[in-house]
Amino acid sequence: MTGPEMHDLVRRLYPLCRSITGPGLRRTLEIIGESIPLEITEVPTGTKVLDWTIPREWTIRDAYIKDATGAKVVDFQDSNLHVVGYSAPVEATMSLGELRGHLHTLPGQPDLVPYRTSYYAETWGFCLSQRTLDGLVDGPYEVRIDSTLADGHLTYGEHVVRGASSQEVLISCHVCHPSLANDNLAGVAVAVALARRLTDPWYTYRFVFAPGTIGAIAWLARNRAHVDRVAHGVTLACAGDSGAITYKRSRRGDAEVDRVFAHVLKDRPHTLLDFSPYGYDERQYCSPGFNLAVGSLTRTPYGGYPEYHTSADDPDFVRPEAMEDTLETLWTAVRVLEANRRYENLSPYGEPQLGTRGLYGSLGGRSDTKQAQMAMLWVLSYSDGSHSLLDIAERSNLPFHALAEAADALRGAGLVKELTG
Amino acid sequence: MTGPEMHDLVRRLYPLCRSITGPGLRRTLEIIGESIPLEITEVPTGTKVLDWTIPREWTIRDAYIKDATGAKVVDFQDSNLHVVGYSAPVEATMSLGELRGHLHTLPGQPDLVPYRTSYYAETWGFCLSQRTLDGLVDGPYEVRIDSTLADGHLTYGEHVVRGASSQEVLISCHVCHPSLANDNLAGVAVAVALARRLTDPWYTYRFVFAPGTIGAIAWLARNRAHVDRVAHGVTLACAGDSGAITYKRSRRGDAEVDRVFAHVLKDRPHTLLDFSPYGYDERQYCSPGFNLAVGSLTRTPYGGYPEYHTSADDPDFVRPEAMEDTLETLWTAVRVLEANRRYENLSPYGEPQLGTRGLYGSLGGRSDTKQAQMAMLWVLSYSDGSHSLLDIAERSNLPFHALAEAADALRGAGLVKELTG
Amino acid sequence: MTGPEMHDLVRRLYPLCRSITGPGLRRTLEIIGESIPLEITEVPTGTKVLDWTIPREWTIRDAYIKDATGAKVVDFQDSNLHVVGYSAPVEATMSLGELRGHLHTLPGQPDLVPYRTSYYAETWGFCLSQRTLDGLVDGPYEVRIDSTLADGHLTYGEHVVRGASSQEVLISCHVCHPSLANDNLAGVAVAVALARRLTDPWYTYRFVFAPGTIGAIAWLARNRAHVDRVAHGVTLACAGDSGAITYKRSRRGDAEVDRVFAHVLKDRPHTLLDFSPYGYDERQYCSPGFNLAVGSLTRTPYGGYPEYHTSADDPDFVRPEAMEDTLETLWTAVRVLEANRRYENLSPYGEPQLGTRGLYGSLGGRSDTKQAQMAMLWVLSYSDGSHSLLDIAERSNLPFHALAEAADALRGAGLVKELTG
């Protein structure tokens, strides 16, 4: 998938009113499923998942505030951000004074509509721009939210690319945000593109598209017995803004996935963050009972751009070339994970003679294949059973791919063998 | 005790002629004992203490140098710094030439009188300003030191605030310097103020007021069997000058007390020093046989200010607000030590639901209690048995007290339990 | 040996046409043997040494290119760099076009003749300046290399200074470069000077003068059974240019020899490099099967100066004072290695009384022997069985020799004892 194709997917998913349950979420997974087949899981309301309980399913049909003239001054049909997520139904007439406690604005960004939810405390509310609020007279207003909170299901989808190994790489995207493009439709689009690119990998790759927090918790609860299959992972979000890449380490801090991203990013502008228990669903995957090797890959992280969680996070805010760059970064990391092996130097006493094996320029002093020759020397020197190619890349400051190619050449010449386990 | 009250104590103690033994030391402990009850220990001359032997007790009544006119050109009654500490008695008439080998000045600070002692090599001498020395004619001079070196005792005092635990926090102040205010009457005053503030602590707090080196050695010799009760400690000196706080780590280097002070000081101007075997009585507490977790808390350390060990280190050099600041720093460290516990997250699989337990703002996006919420997430994430609250404070960069409050709230909600041992 | 004496040795060895085998190498070892007796080893052609095989011996008698007028435009008699090392014999007439593939120049340094070899792929060639090449007409040219490649031997020499211990310090110099002065006649001269200076050392010092790569490999192959006697070592090369000292760590990275050089160099301009599997014969000594504690001592390292491997690396490029400085640096490191011991403080509870043992100024406050006193306190504080004098030097930032003198004084006073093993 190209950047423009990923952007098309973002635009197509954008209008749906997603939440942590409900028809918008289900329709989102259907559309993703057109690109990569998804296995859909429906978890019934009331199901106990770890410390949590699956809530009632939320269906929203319409919502508005009408003024005395009958004009809709706030209208869900204009933007699904206008209604507080999980709002209970309401139908009432009230003054602006009574209404105010249910209205949310961003006084510092007066033209933008905020994104607000109230999943676990039943209430209702509207989000609007401060500019709109400032223009409202005393009322009365007709207020209506045509929603249902009823027993149903929480829905999530999985796409699996089987590899040679049963060890898994987890790519997890939250899919619970309504009309917000960078957070997280861009992450969804990049994940879809990655899934389509993978063919015959060594690891098994599992893509989880689930609502934030409760979705990841439901997935963990249902997969608790074999969660140790997850060898590496990232949550993927905010993948399309124009900022530099940010990688946030897993709680382990020095997991292979953490070191892979540090290596992949080191020669380009980027930010590396230590784990903190706030952010996306790495919070759940890295909770101390699981403590999975799951980091978080974003461009500008949550809360780090003014458009975050506002109506300004629309498809125009997301850039096709930024999603392509996120995809290529993730792809480079995947290739390092795939090729990161330990080798044993079978000729560890002194250097083996590379020239007679056709592995070395025959005339002393030439340097046209300098990096390749250095890579062979590094692989030979550190293939002592305890260093992986990534370890050697970190020490040598050579690019991983040069070392992987050197290891291949040396294996071909019988000078090293791959170690397993 | 307020800063002015500590300053009053400094002024009251200042005129006494303290030494490592003798009436001035004994009177000092009596005055301290008016504020906090002291248990006094008298160790007889000749007692073997570790590698040392308690010396004879020194009593000084008067000392002067009279010129040919009978005028006292140097007079102990003006300042006890004028006589070299532990000077043997002398009564003689001599020329300036003969006298010179017994005179100590500070040529680089010509108006100041130095502080000199000779505890372990019997001699006598006078200290005076270079200015006074320059004004002296050839003589003859009548020289008199009315002192006694005789069998007696070395005296030290202890004040103990009993806590729930028999593990001790040691606060040690040297009390052997005569009329020097910052070094160490300011330290004594801060220790007294801390002792008065402690009520029902978890640790037992032991305050030792002892002469430098030989006093600490005597204390260690007499408490050798149960010195391992000392879990944490500091020597306290130079607590009242206007410089920034300096904390010198214990010989262990990463003892809890070392990390507590680093945390307490990190957001204010300060100096952290690694251990060196020179300084105050941490030299003795940290000697390799004992290797106690005892650091050193000062403002400007020994030798670091021009007034050090001169007549300029008088009560005006000590500032009440600086002593208050030292006291508050020490108090903050004490509170961290008292509250530093390890907890176990009882709901370690995924995040527990904080909202339903009233621990979390119910409306997504609010941030008015952001730090408290972050603190709860950090405590939950790292309460895996191996991290203390201080560990979590170091990782999270949150203030310790926020984490301690979060741990209390989580414990109240049954989400964590305190670990012992 | 003084700098000028070392320089004389460089000048004397410079004209010989050394290679990895042959008469020039043998004659070089004879001349070194005039200064320090060498045990010579001759390894026959065809001998298997580790992964390598001893090649045929190369003898070169003459080589030239004559133009149509009979003038020698390139002449081995002018400089042995003119012939590619290990050139097979040739006698032919050819045009410049045919000859070109056998000619090596340095276009970027048009006045210099490069150094080239082809040990393991049989070929022939000439090295000349780009300036000379640019002046050549089309030809024909008479080309002659009067050389022999025939079964014979590879030669290396060893000089051993026996010490109290059978543990060895290895000093290894490559002696295979023809007329190149800094690389490596300067290294040879410094090694000779060091060998002559050592008397009754604690360690046994082994000096190996062997051709690069194949010589070190031959030495390792023949000494494989007892190579673990090598406790510390360096390869020594490029010892006479005017650049600062460079020390490259052994593959172990934190070997004692690595820490010794870091300590010795810390207060002067220098470069410390981590190990890389490229350079001099540390490549062989540090190959993962051996992994010896062998670093590399140079001034400007290989490839780091424009004269490197060119005719400009002549005796005038090497400076007597630079060789003296390299020698003194190595000598200082040797003295640290020799004196680096662990001691046990026999009076570890509190500080022992230094004054009564004559180890301390008797009058408090004097500082004329401050460093010596501090060194005694540091040695006492850290002589707990786990810290060597070098450990203490690193912690204290005191010079090693001050600590070694302090340890001597303390041992004399019965306060510490030396630990073995």
pLDDT in tens, B185-238: 999 999 999 999 999 999 999 999 999 999 999 999 999 999 999 999 999 999
Q: What is the pLDDT of residue C13?
A: 98
Tokens of A216: 């990841």
Question: Subunits touching A (CB < 8 Å, at least 3 pairs)?
Answer: B, C
Residues of B in contact with C355 (CB under 8 A): 120-121
Query: Which residues of C fall within a CB distance of 8 Å from A419?
Result: none
Q: Flag whether pLDDT at A362 surpasses 80.
A: no
Name residue A233's beta-bridge partners. Answer: A170, A294
Evaluate whether B74 touches B163 at the Cβ level (below 8 Å). no
A295: number of Cβ within 10 Å: 29
For residue A86, what are its two tokens?
Answer: 């999980």
Q: pLDDT confidence of A139, banded at 50, 70, 90?
A: confident
Find residue C62's DSSP bridge partners: C146
Mean pLDDT of C213-219: 98
Per-residue pLDDT band at C367 (split at 50, 70, 90):
very low
pLDDT of residue A368: 43
For C3-55+153-338, give the CATH class: alpha beta
Largest CA distance in chain B: 92
Whether residue A345 is predicted with pLDDT greater than 70 in this model: the reply is yes
pLDDT band at A355 (very low <50, low <70, confident <90, very high): confident
pLDDT of residue A361: 55
Does the beta-carbon distance from C117 to A364 stay under 8 Å?
yes
Query: Which of helix, strand or coil describes residue C39?
Result: strand
List the CATH code of the domain at B58-150: 3.50.30.90
pLDDT > 70? residue B322: yes
Q: Do A50 and B349 touch (CB under 8 A)?
A: yes
Q: In angstroms, rounded to a whole number, what is the distance separating the alpha carbons of residues B163 and B171? A: 15
Write down which chains contact chain B via at least 3 CB pairs under 8 A.
Answer: A, C
**pLDDT for residue B421:** 64
Place of tokens 């005053």: B189
Residue B417 CA to residue B385 CA, distance in Å, equals: 10
The conformation of residue A334, written as its DSSP 8-state character, comes to H
- Chain A nearest CA to C219, separation (Å): 11
Give, in words, the CATH class of C57-150.
alpha beta
Residues sharing a CB contact under 8 Å with residue C31, sequence separation 6 or more, in sequence order = C9, C12, C13
B316 by DSSP, 3-state: which? helix
Backbone angles phi and psi of B268, in degrees to 5: -140, 160
Residues of C in contact with B115 (CB under 8 A): 365
Predicted local distance difference test score (pLDDT) of residue B51: 96
**Which residues does C32 contact at the CB level (< 8 Å), separation at least 6?**
C13, C38, C157, C159, C175, C188, C192, C209
Q: Which of C356, C380, C384 sits opposite B120 (nearest CB)?
A: C356
Strand order of the sheet with strand C245-248?
C39-44, C153-161, C204-210, C168-174, C230-236, C294-298, C245-248, C270-273
- Average confidence (pLDDT) over B97-117: 96
Residue A367 has pLDDT above 80, yes or no: no
How many CA atoms, within 13 angstroms, populate the side-chain half-sphere of residue C131?
5
DSSP string, C283-319: HHHTSTTT--SEEEEESS-TTSSTTTTBTT-SGGGS-
R_g of chain B computed on alpha carbons = 26
In this complex, the chains that touch C, judged by 3 or more CB pairs closer than 8 A, are A, B
C288/A353 CB distance under 8 A:
no
Residue in C349, C351, C355 closest to B121 by CB: C355
Check: CB of residue B95 under 8 Å from CB of residue B141. yes
Do C213 and A347 make contact, defined as CB atoms within 8 angstroms?
no
Handedness of CA C313, C317, C319, C325 (dihedral sign): negative
Tell me the chain C residues in contact with residue B213 when contact means C-beta distances shorter than 8 Å: 351
| Percentage of chain A modeled with pLDDT above 90 | 94
Cross-strand pairs, B91: B144
Say whether B353 and A286 touch across the interface (CB within 8 A).
Answer: no
Question: Residue written as tokens 């961003």?
Answer: A106
Confidence of residue A364 (pLDDT cuts 50, 70, 90): very low
Q: At residue C257, what is the residue type?
A: V
- Euclidean distance between the first and final Cα of chain B, in Å? 35
Average pLDDT of chain B to the nearest whole number? 95
> Dihedral of the CA atoms C116, C119, C124, C127 (nearest 10)?
10
Q: Please, is B134 exposed, middle or buried when counting C-beta atoms within 10 Å of its C-beta (0-12, 13-18, 19+)?
A: exposed
Spell out which chain C residues touch chain A, with contact meaning CB-CB distance below 8 angstroms: 49-52, 85, 114-121, 123, 213, 216-217, 220-221, 224, 251, 274, 276-278, 283-284, 286-291, 309
Domain A342-419 = CATH 1.10.10.10? yes
Cβ separation of A349 and C216 shorter than 8 Å? no
Question: In DSSP terms, which residues pair with C85 in a beta bridge?
Answer: C117
Q: Which range is least confidently modeled, A167-171, A316-320, B279-283, B301-305?
A: B301-305
The architecture (CATH level 2) of A57-149 comes to 3-Layer(bba) Sandwich (3.50)
Residues of C within 8 A of B119 (CB-CB) are: 364
Three-class SS of B173-207: EECCCCCCHHHHHHHHHHHHHHHHHCCCCCCEEEE
The reply to whether residue A364 touches residue C286, judged by beta carbons under 8 angstroms, is no
Checking if the pLDDT of B359 tops 90, the result is no
pLDDT at res. A10: 98
What confidence score (pLDDT) does residue A365 get? 46
Q: pLDDT band at residue B356, thresholds of 50, 70 and 90?
A: confident
Contact A67, A139 (CB under 8 A): yes
User: Helix, strand or coil for residue B371?
Assistant: helix
3-state secondary structure of B42: strand
Query: Cβ separation of A363 and C121 shorter than 8 Å?
Result: yes
pLDDT at B364 > cutoff 70: no
Q: Report the candidate in B303, B283, B294 with the shortest Cα–Cα distance to residue B247.
A: B294
Whole-angstrom Cα distance, residue B211 to residue B24? 11
A284 chain-B contacts, CB cut-off 8 A = 350-351
DSSP state of C164: S
C357-378 core/surface letters (b: 16 or more CB in 10 A; e: else): eebbbebbeeeeeeebbbbbbb
Q: Give tens-digit pLDDT for B151-189.
A: 999 999 999 999 999 999 999 999 999 999 999 999 999
In the Cβ-directed half-sphere of B163, how many Cα atoms lie within 13 Å? 18
Collapsed DSSP state (helix, strand, coil) of residue A317? helix
Q: What is the mean pLDDT of chain A?
A: 95
Residue B362, pLDDT > 80, answer no
Q: What is the pLDDT of residues A276-285, one digit of tens each?
A: 999 999 999 9
Tell if the CB–CB gap between B51 and C380 is shorter than 8 Å: no
Q: In chain C, what percentage of residues exceed pLDDT 90?
A: 94
Query: What is the residue-averaged pLDDT of chain C?
Result: 95
**Domain B3-55+154-338 superfamily per CATH:** Zn peptidases (3.40.630.10)
Alpha-carbon distance values, C304 to A30, C244, C321 (Å): 62, 12, 20
- Does the pLDDT at position B366 exceed 50? no
Q: Are C279 and C301 in contact (CB under 8 A)?
A: yes
CB neighbour class for C63 (10 Å; exposed up to 12, middle 13-18, buried from 19): buried
**Averaged pLDDT, B283-307:** 96
- At C176 the pLDDT is 97
pLDDT, tens only, A75-97: 999 999 999 999 999 999 999 99
Provide the pLDDT for residue A179.
97
DSSP classification of residue A183: I
Residue B260 has pLDDT above 50, yes or no: yes
Domain boundaries, chain B: 3-55+154-338, 58-150, 342-419
Distance in Å, alpha carbon of C354 to nearest chain A alpha carbon: 48
Distance from chain centroid for Cα B125: 29
| C contact test, residue of A344, A347, A351 with most C CBs within 10 A | A351
Q: Which residue of C has its CA nearest to B117?
A: C364
A348/C289 CB distance under 8 A? yes
Which is nearest to B272 in space by CA: B260, B287, B290?
A: B260
The pLDDT score that the predictor gives to residue C139 is 79
DSSP A38-70: -EEEEEETT-EETTEE---EEEEEEEEEE-TTS
Distance from CA of C293 to the nearest CA of A (A): 14
d(CA C400, CA C339): 9
* CA B209/CA B215 separation, integer angstroms: 8
Minimum-distance CB partner of C378 among B119, B216, B277: B277
Give the pLDDT band (50/70/90) at residue C421. Answer: low
Give the gap in angstroms from C-alpha C118 to the nearest C-alpha of chain A: 5
| Residue A409, token pair as written in the block | 């050449």
CATH architecture for the domain at C341-419? Orthogonal Bundle (1.10)
Cβ distance A284 to B352 less than 8 Å, yes or no, reads: no
CA distance B410 to A114: 31
- Which candidate, A294, A262, A300, A298, places its Cα nearest to that of A281? A294
Residue B51 to residue C362, Cβ atoms within 8 A: no
Of A350, A364, A383, the CB nearest to C51: A350
Q: Are strands C230-236 and C294-298 parallel, antiparallel or unpaired?
A: parallel
Determine the average pLDDT of the residues in A122-134: 96
Question: What is the predicted pLDDT for the residue at C200?
Answer: 96
Collapsing DSSP states into helix, strand and coil, what is residue C57?
Answer: strand
Q: Exposed/middle/buried for C383, CB within 10 Å: 0-12, 13-18, 19+? A: buried
Q: Is B7 exposed, middle or buried (0-12, 13-18, 19+ CB in 10 A)?
A: buried
- pLDDT tier at C366, thresholds 50, 70, 90: very low
Q: Which residues, in sequence order, are bridge partners of residue C233?
A: C170, C294
- Classify each residue of B341-365 as buried b or exposed e, where b means 16 or more C-beta atoms within 10 Å of its C-beta: bbbebbbbbbbbbbbeeebbbebbe
Closest residue to B120, CB basis, from C348, C355, C365: C355
Per residue in C82-139, pLDDT (tens digit) is: 999 999 999 999 999 999 999 999 999 999 999 999 998 899 999 999 999 999 999 7
Residues whose CB falls within 8 Å of the CB of residue B208, separated by 6 or more in sequence, listed in order? B156, B157, B158, B170, B171, B172, B173, B216, B219
Whether residue C221 and residue A356 make contact (CB cut-off 8 A), yes or no, is no
Cβ <8 Å between A50 and B350: yes
Q: Is the pLDDT of residue A397 over 50?
A: yes
